[in-house]
Amino acid sequence: MSKLRCHISISLDGFVAGPNQSVENPLGEGGERLHDWVVPLASWREGHAKEGGEVNASDRVVEEARENLGAAVMGRNMFGPIGGGPWVNEDWLGWWGDNPPYHYPVFVVTHYPREPVEMAGGTTYHFVTDGIESALDQAKEAAGGKDVMLWGGGDIIGQYLAAGLLDELELHVVPILLGDGARIFGTPGGVRLEQIRSVEAPGVTHLKYRVLK
Amino acid sequence: MSKLRCHISISLDGFVAGPNQSVENPLGEGGERLHDWVVPLASWREGHAKEGGEVNASDRVVEEARENLGAAVMGRNMFGPIGGGPWVNEDWLGWWGDNPPYHYPVFVVTHYPREPVEMAGGTTYHFVTDGIESALDQAKEAAGGKDVMLWGGGDIIGQYLAAGLLDELELHVVPILLGDGARIFGTPGGVRLEQIRSVEAPGVTHLKYRVLK
């Protein structure tokens, strides 16, 4: 059955982005360091059409996270700059250039209707205005039996978790302290988790959980 | 050189105690579950003068955490009920009975002066009213070259961390979400960490960090 999976880098003090996110600084102050563990990896570079790179215990985690995906969901604040407003309807095509690293349909949850935008390489952005359940339904339909990736940001992860719609959550715990910024756990209600596995790797530990229904 | 070490169980959403801590419920609502991983362990039972128990990957972590300790520091909110006030000067002897599981001098940081209290089994409670640096100095002196354990609670851990006085931090990350309660990371300032190791064990992952000076 198609699962909704999420994996995200998080600081040891629980932030998935630093404070004061902006167009110039989409991950907030200090937030770039959340990705220090992944950028040098061969598996990450391959996904971004680059050669070479390091191989360590994180590689199989990155590879596993890319397997069996047919579509994705993301929040409007991840697709475009926070506070951008309706202008996002017009020229904004995401942060990831003409050939985004997704290569599958991406459903953006937003308040602003907009026609789908087809990018190079198999990524099409769809804009969903009737909520997270609808976005997930549409993404599962588009995924054709494969899984759906929930890319973030923090707010929408908390919403899917609290709604009981998330199946797997993997946190890449980075040894930095951001002090402030975006969190992913809002009011979790009765959500229960089961630890699937942990992987120690240079500069990061990968913690994977199943959400119990 | 004598180090200040800290290890503490923490929920996946970053709480070391649940909301509404009280005399009846010192770990707050749901906080008891933070210790579900440790109570069944043979190594924990041995430290509490009980026999039997499970043996798994957590055992060596618990044993390692007990090694080479000569004294401890804890906050007043860990020693006595939160909001207890000056009465703590009189009859309160901590949560841990006549023979506490420490067996070394414990320095309690508080605003209320009180004479030292000698318990059975080698634990003496000392009450320090002139701040966290003084408490650490006294504990290191008492430890005679061994390390000092910082037991908590959350507030004082954040204070020692921000002051650059903590040397090692180990988090036992438990797959529960508490939603609210006590955190340990306040405003970390320029504190930098280095991951020493991670250990996967049933129902918990142990993440150990060195605090860089």
User: In this predicted structure, what is the pLDDT of residue B134?
Assistant: 98
Chain A residues close to B12, C-beta within 8 Å: 171, 185, 193, 207, 209
Spatial distance between the Cα atoms of B141 and A141, rounded to a whole number of angstroms? 66
User: In this predicted structure, what is the pLDDT of residue B80?
Assistant: 85
Listed in sequence order, the residues at least 6 apart from A85 whose beta carbon sits closer than 8 Å to its beta carbon are none
User: Is pLDDT at A86 greater than 80 in this prediction?
Assistant: no
A193·B203 Cβ contact <8 A = no
User: Is pLDDT at A213 greater than 90 in this prediction?
Assistant: no
Burial of A137 (0-12, 13-18, 19+ CB in 10 A): middle
Interior CA angle at A170 toward A32 and A24, to 5°? Answer: 20
Distance, in angstroms, between A198 CA and closest chain B CA?
6
Give the number of other Cβ atoms within 10 Å of residue A95's Cβ.
12
| Beta carbons of A106 and A71 less than 8 angstroms apart | yes
B13·A185 Cβ contact <8 A = yes
Residue B209 touches chain A, beta carbons under 8 Å: yes
Nearest to A177 among B185, B198, B204 (CB): B185
User: In this predicted structure, what is the pLDDT of residue B44?
Assistant: 84
Chain A residues close to B183, C-beta within 8 Å: 13
User: In this predicted structure, what is the pLDDT of residue A50?
Assistant: 86
B187·A179 Cβ contact <8 A = yes
| Beta carbons of B137 and A171 less than 8 angstroms apart | no
A204·B195 Cβ contact <8 A = yes
Question: Could you say which residues from 116 to 155 on chain B have a Cβ atom under 8 Å away from some Cβ of chain A?
Answer: none
Residue A192 touches chain B, beta carbons under 8 Å: yes
User: In this predicted structure, what is the pLDDT of residue A112?
Assistant: 86
Chain A residues close to B14, C-beta within 8 Å: 13-14, 185
Q: How many residues does chain A have?
A: 213
A195·B204 Cβ contact <8 A = yes
Nearest to A13 among B173, B188, B203 (CB): B188
Range of the domain at B25: 4-212
Give the number of other Cβ atoms within 10 Å of residue A88's Cβ.
20
Distance, in angstroms, between B188 CA and closest chain A CA?
6
Burial of A102 (0-12, 13-18, 19+ CB in 10 A): buried
φ/ψ of residue A174, rounded to 5: -105, 135
- Percent of chain A residues topping a pLDDT of 90: 77
Nearest to A193 among B12, B191, B205 (CB): B12
Give the number of other Cβ atoms within 10 Å of residue A75's Cβ.
23
User: In this predicted structure, what is the pLDDT of residue A159?
Assistant: 96
Q: pLDDT band for position A83 (50/70/90)?
A: low
Q: pLDDT band for position A88 (50/70/90)?
A: low
Which SS3 state, helix, strand or coil, does residue A99 take?
coil
Strand partners, B201: B204
Nearest to B188 among A177, A185, A205 (CB): A177
User: In this predicted structure, what is the pLDDT of residue B82?
Assistant: 67
Question: pLDDT by residue (tens digit) across A109-135?
Answer: 998 888 999 999 999 999 999 999 999
Strand partners, B6: B169
**In chain B, which stretches have pLDDT less than 70?**
82-90
User: In this predicted structure, what is the pLDDT of residue A113?
Assistant: 87
Closest of B185, B194, B172, B147 to residue B59, by C-alpha: B172
User: Is pLDDT at A62 greater than 80 in this prediction?
Assistant: yes
User: In this predicted structure, what is the pLDDT of residue A172?
Assistant: 98
Closest of A153, A140, A164, A146 to residue A109, by C-alpha: A153
Residue A13 touches chain B, beta carbons under 8 Å: yes
The domain total for chain B is 1
Task: Look over chain A and give the mean of its residue pLDDT values, rounded to a whole number.
Answer: 92
Q: What is the CATH number of the domain that holds A102?
A: 3.40.430.10
φ/ψ of residue A208, rounded to 5: -120, 135
| Beta carbons of A161 and A181 less than 8 angstroms apart | no
Show the tokens assigned to A20.
């004061």
A185·B209 Cβ contact <8 A = no
Distance, in angstroms, between B26 CA and closest chain A CA?
21
Exposure letters B163-182 (e unless 16+ CB within 10 A, then b): eebbbbbbbbbbbbbbbbbb
